A and B are shown apart, each in its own frame.
Chain A
């Protein structure tokens, strides 16, 4: 079937009929631009400095992850999920493992649930810290905030390395548990990192939160209403910054999240400043979860020894499993036809769907604000384009 009737390469601007050209300017931001956080392009129509139209262009990192996963066994795509949102490989593993566990009805041992929560929340800490660093970098605060965040991320990645063998592509979860138990001394080390984290947050906040330039650049910029956020499927910190009280850790109570006391911070204005603030507050809540989980982690197996996950064939059927990843709702939809490969494997990428409202957020703002708004959405192109 030809798709020629649906052209993508359309003109952003109609040629002016009366010859008064030069009123509007079309600019292609990206794909090779540091503020796009990867290879991502926005076609922008400008009236002076003001944005009148913005169309995101995707696909520069497209490798058809879903098709590859359909020609692979269930376990075979586990390492590949690391590459979706490469900042948060562990939560990607978790989302996929959760969907397969729903599909096949696998139960996870208690200790593995604790390990999942500890590694998952550590992932959230380093993702949010770095996101704020990148956001500041986009605003022109070159170096310092980002390097502070990277200093903290370094200690968390060291923990990941000694636990999983890899710093970024962790490949840590398995269906029905985790791949490796904590090495000796890991828990003490992790407790030390988590105990030191609030000090870093205080330092970060002292540096940034009351900063006049930051407030000037972010308050009232890129305002997203709660109503549009729900309709457009916006999830994660971005929705909560608009006041949408929806955290899948609380709603679905997946894993053992209901055992831990933590609160869901909500924003009021839905602007970039709120999205910045929500991430800081979420990190403080994550620290609370981590402290509780590391205090109460029980002994036991990390995976049911009788479970055979190599070449396993779930019964025919389908399942949709989702988790609260640092970016938002990460979902996996699987259809099994009883063979060792999934018949259909779908990733619901929070980064892509959070970009649905990018144009709405940018309209009427200056070009320089596009960079800040995009930075506050928190995208990773490995997940957007898949």
Chain B
């Protein structure tokens, strides 16, 4: 069960799919395969049905939020200072736009191997949060994708019943995102201690009250 062989098998079996092996530095050695959203269903179906893989058991499905951040990288550059060429270090800053990631852990009940880890990434964290649902391939993703939709806000196209799972329907936000802020519910606090009073005051001033 080598990820390299699976990758080359997939490239032959699903023409046009974009694959990338994501290395894992941990001693667990569980590397993963990044697949593109466009071919995800075909790739998943191939992994499930191809005879020597038979990844028929999708155990765990979960989301990860990678918020935007500034990446800084030290780069050595050659500079000419006072007519002499010198080596200097410069810090290059790049903006990482952030995305949401969905991870599938696959096993084979028949062949008793695994886990094979699949990852999919959304385009961004705002409008491009659509990913194809793999529930038609593995039924076990049904509730877990609903949970990711609920807590992370990934929209799974092709899911048979995409609704919130744990939070209530009127809830607006996605609590598992890293930048989630607790709602201002000072009025439901059972004891009006200092922190609650401060929030109440702030709330009223923001509302334009007294």
Chain A residues near B (Cβ < 8 Å): 1-3, 6-10, 58-59, 62, 64, 66-67, 102-105, 228, 230-235, 244-246, 251, 314-322, 329, 331, 333, 335-336, 343-344, 346, 348, 352-353, 355-357, 385-386
- Which of B64, B142, B164 meets A6, CB within 8 Å? B164
Q: Are A331 and B30 in contact (CB under 8 A)?
A: no
Contact of B60 among A62, A251, A314, A346 (CB under 8 A): A346
Q: List 21 A-B contacts (CB under 8 A).
A: A1-B126, A3-B164, A9-B169, A59-B168, A64-B166, A64-B175, A67-B176, A104-B27, A105-B27, A231-B56, A233-B138, A244-B109, A246-B109, A317-B28, A320-B115, A322-B59, A333-B62, A333-B103, A346-B60, A346-B62, A385-B166
A66 to B25, CA, bound (A): 23
Q: Which 10 A-B pairs have the closest CB atoms?
A: A317-B26, A233-B140, A105-B27, A319-B28, A8-B169, A59-B166, A8-B163, A232-B139, A348-B60, A62-B166
Cβ contact within 8 Å between B27 and A58? no
The number of chain B residues touching the other chain, given as a range, is: 35 or more
- Within the complex, the shortest CB–CB distance from B116 to chain A, in Å, comes to 11
Cβ contacts under 8 Å, A318 to chain B: 24, 26, 28, 30
- B129 interface residue (CB < 8 Å to A): yes
List, in ascending order, chain A residues with CB within 8 A of B115's CB.
320
Q: CA of A9 to CA of B171 in the docked complex: distance in angstroms? A: 12
A interface footprint on B127-169 (CB within 8 Å = 1, 0 otherwise): 0010000000011111110000101010100000011111111
Q: Which of A228, A315, A321 contacts B139 (CB 8 A)?
A: A228
Q: Are B105 and A333 in touch, CB under 8 angstroms?
A: yes
B139 close to A231 (CB less than 8 A): yes
Known contacts: A59-B167, A103-B28, A314-B26. The answer to whether A352 contacts B143 by CB under 8 A is yes
B112 contacts the other chain (CB 8 A): yes
Q: Which residue of B lies closest to A352 (CB)?
A: B143
Cβ-defined contact, B140 with A353, below 8 A = yes
B10 part of interface (Cβ distance < 8 Å): no
With a CB–CB cut-off of 8 A, which chain B residues contact A331? Answer: 59-60, 105
**Which residues from chain B contact A233 at a C-beta distance below 8 Å?**
57-59, 138-141
Distance of B185 from chain A, by nearest CB (Å): 15
Q: Closest Cβ of chain A: how far from B85's Cβ, in Å?
A: 36
Q: Are A320 and B60 in contact (CB under 8 A)?
A: yes
CA distance A343 to B176 in the complex (A): 11
- Return chain A residues, CB-CB under 8 Å to B56: 230-231
The minimal Cβ–Cβ distance linking B7 to chain A, given in whole angstroms, is 19
Pick from A67, A320, A353: contact of B143, CB under 8 Å: A353
The reply to whether A316 and B139 contact each other, CB–CB distance below 8 Å, is: no
Q: Is B174 an interface residue (CB 8 A)?
A: yes
**Contact across chains for A353 and B144 when beta carbons are under 8 A apart:** yes
Q: Which residues of B contact A352 (CB under 8 A)?
A: 143
| Docked-complex contact A317 and B138, CB < 8 angstroms | no
Cα–Cα, bound, A352→B126 (Å): 29
Cβ–Cβ < 8 Å partners of B172 in chain A: 2-3
Once bound together, how far apart are the Cα atoms of A36 and B200, in whole Å?
39
A59 partner residues in chain B, CB cutoff 8 A = 164-168
Instruction: Given A6-B155, A344-B64, output 12 extra A-B contacts at Cβ < 8 Å.
Output: A7-B169, A8-B169, A67-B175, A102-B26, A102-B28, A105-B27, A105-B28, A233-B141, A314-B26, A317-B26, A348-B62, A356-B139
**Chain B residues, Cβ within 8 Å of A3:** 149, 153, 164, 171-172
Q: A59-B166, A319-B30 are in contact. Are A356 and B24 (CB under 8 A)?
A: no
Smallest Cβ distance from B87 to chain A, in angstroms? 29
Residue pair B165, A58 in contact (C-beta under 8 Å): yes
A233-B55 Cα distance, complex, nearest whole Å: 12
Question: B167 and A348: CB pair below 8 A?
Answer: no
Chain B residues whose C-beta falls within 8 Å of the C-beta of A385 in the assembled complex = 166
B59: A residues at CB distance < 8 A: 233, 235, 322, 329, 331, 348
Closest to B163 in A: A8
Report chain B residues within 8 Å CB of A335.
64
Cβ contacts under 8 Å, B109 to chain A? 230, 244-246
